[in-house]
A and B are shown apart, each in its own frame.
Chain A
Amino acid sequence: MRRVQIAAGFFLLLIAGFLLLPLFTSNTSFAFYLMLWIIMASAMNICVGFTGYLPFGYVVFYGVGAYATGICYKVLGLPILPSLLIAGLAGVAFAMILAPTLRLKGVYFGIVSLALATIVRLIIANLPSDLTGGSMGLILASSNNPTLSYYSMALVLIVTLACVLWLSVSSLGKALKAIRDDDGAAACVGINVPRTRLKAWLLAAVFPALAGGIEAWHTNVVDPEYAFHVLVTAKSIVYAMAGGFGTILGPVVGAMALLGIDHLIWQKFPLINLLLLGLVIVLLMLFLPRGIVGGLLHRYPQLRRYIA
């Protein structure tokens, strides 16, 4: 229990920092995106760290959330907050539709997931442009409210982190850990593996959908290029991995570390930014495959009492 309390304490400090930041500076962009990526990485961790499946089409929830928000607001004329709620629901609905893929084995799952996300992206590109804005995307101009969208993202962050903490102590969380360790043995002790995986899957889909919707609100644009871009999945995976899958603190630490590095590199070397991102991934995989937190726990297992 102690380690969960320590993690909770850390999260409280972090959230307090985010909540208080706008009082001190008007440049909240970095913090906004840091919150976004912590959410994306943590939700990715729920899926990977708890079920053992790597969803390469993860971005589809983000994109669906963004488009649902955009369509509800722009085309259907709903106010922004109900649109966001619908975005969250749309994410869950999509997760349900994609649920049959959970039956597949590891690598097959990853690739089918990627193929499905591409299919969704192409379908949206082919839908009538009065619905989805075609290749220009949707512009949500009149809804712009940086402060409110910032705090909405913070709210989603709170919910995400609370959920992650809850999972680590709940029965569902333990069942998921067992599945990740050995899904055959988990079935042999009575765990309904597909049904349990589904719960984690649905849970993991809500947060990127909300994040995508809020980001669209914040920037006023639903951009078809970006909303379904494989880099969104890639960054979510990498940030979570950099911290360490299967740990609570991992994705948070990873997102903070890598986003910080990304920010510094972009500021100093804008031209070779992408190259360095790739290099960081490669170096991480070669030398720190369990991530920062994961590697630490592997080296010093006694720390598992304090670090969740």
Chain B
Amino acid sequence: MQDLVLQGIVNGLILGAIYGLIGVGLNVIFGVLRVVNFAHGEFLVLGAYLALMLAQYAGLSPFWALPITFLVFCLIGYLLYFVLIPRLSKSNDPETSSLLLMFGVSIMLGAIMLLLFDADARSLEYEIEPVFLMLGNIILPTIRLITLAISIVIVALVAWLLYGTLTGKALRAIIMNRDAVRIVGIKTERLAAVAFALGIGLAGVTGVLTAMVFPSFSPFMGNDYTLIGFVVIVLGGLGNPVGALVGALLYAVTEQVASVFFNPSIGTICGFVLMVATIFVRPNGLFGKQVMR
């Protein structure tokens, strides 16, 4: 039993890295743009499909798919920004409007994927030797270890981008105070587009990693991933990238350990309950800012 629990914890940590990536992507978009990207999960699944296509038609391994997907999706995100977002600022309630707008986009993407790829679940076939490593009695599938490593690298790169470059500094400044940034002369529109592109790029890359880790994917799984992403960033505190990672780890470990004792759907229940309980104790999430009444 103890081994199973440990296995659960390890699985949780590995999954937590992926969930964390979803959260970081969502947080970049929400933090900078105050846009609730309800379509994040669909972009993720689309990334998985791209990896599949690259493998099937170009014979490229998922490792090549990663940077390609990132670039392609960043471009898509950048262009999509100008189509979708600027009009939102005119509405009464930009946050709600963005939520609904991206919800519409999520339905469209799901439908497009359904038309292009059919409803059957697909999987990315990728073998690696050895298939798994053993740590004591714990099974560590090699693919998952690799994706964990890749996730860490990506998070580090994002952190470097946000904290080490001038662009990143500007992005963080926007999160803090958009108008002030404009006054100082930085072109917020361009930057916002970059943030959106980054978020979508991250979604795509997470999709590739997901395809590597999970047995299969289908056009309508996007919803589930979006939901997990939101649960994770709410748990960690909206707009806080570190919070997203911590939230993701907590969520994933809870979910996996609970699955050991019961079944996967109860695992999900436990993870969600953790989030709801946390919000009641700390209404702005674990690392969110305290606000005035």
Contacts and interface: CB of A to CB of B under 8 A. Distances in A.
Q: Do chains A and B touch in the complex (CB under 8 A)?
A: yes
A278 B84 contact: no
Contacts of A107: 36, 95, 99, 238
B223 A274 contact: no
A15 interface: no
Contacts of B265: 122, 125-126
Given A105-B283, A107-B238, A112-B234, A281 B101 contact: yes
B111 interface: yes
B104 interface: yes
A196 interface: no
B259 interface: no
A272 interface: yes
Which of B96, B227, B265, B284 has the most chain A CB atoms closer than 10 A to its own CB? B96
Given A107-B95, A285-B101, A116 B269 contact: no
A285 B104 contact: yes
Interface in A244-298: 271-272, 274-275, 277-282, 284-287, 289-290
Contacts of B110: 274, 278
Interface string B244-285: 000000000000000000010110110011011001100111
A192 to B, nearest CB: 13
A54 B92 contact: no
Contacts, number: 118
Nearest to A286: B87
Nearest to A279: B108
Interface centre among B223, B230, B238 (most CB of A within 10 A): B230
Interface of B: 36, 84, 87-88, 90-92, 95-97, 99-101, 103-112, 114-115, 223, 227, 230-231, 234, 238, 263, 265-266, 268-269, 272-273, 275-276, 279-280, 283-285, 291, 293
Interface of A: 54, 100, 103-108, 110-112, 114-116, 118-119, 122-123, 125-126, 184, 230, 234, 237-238, 241, 271-272, 274-275, 277-282, 284-287, 289-290
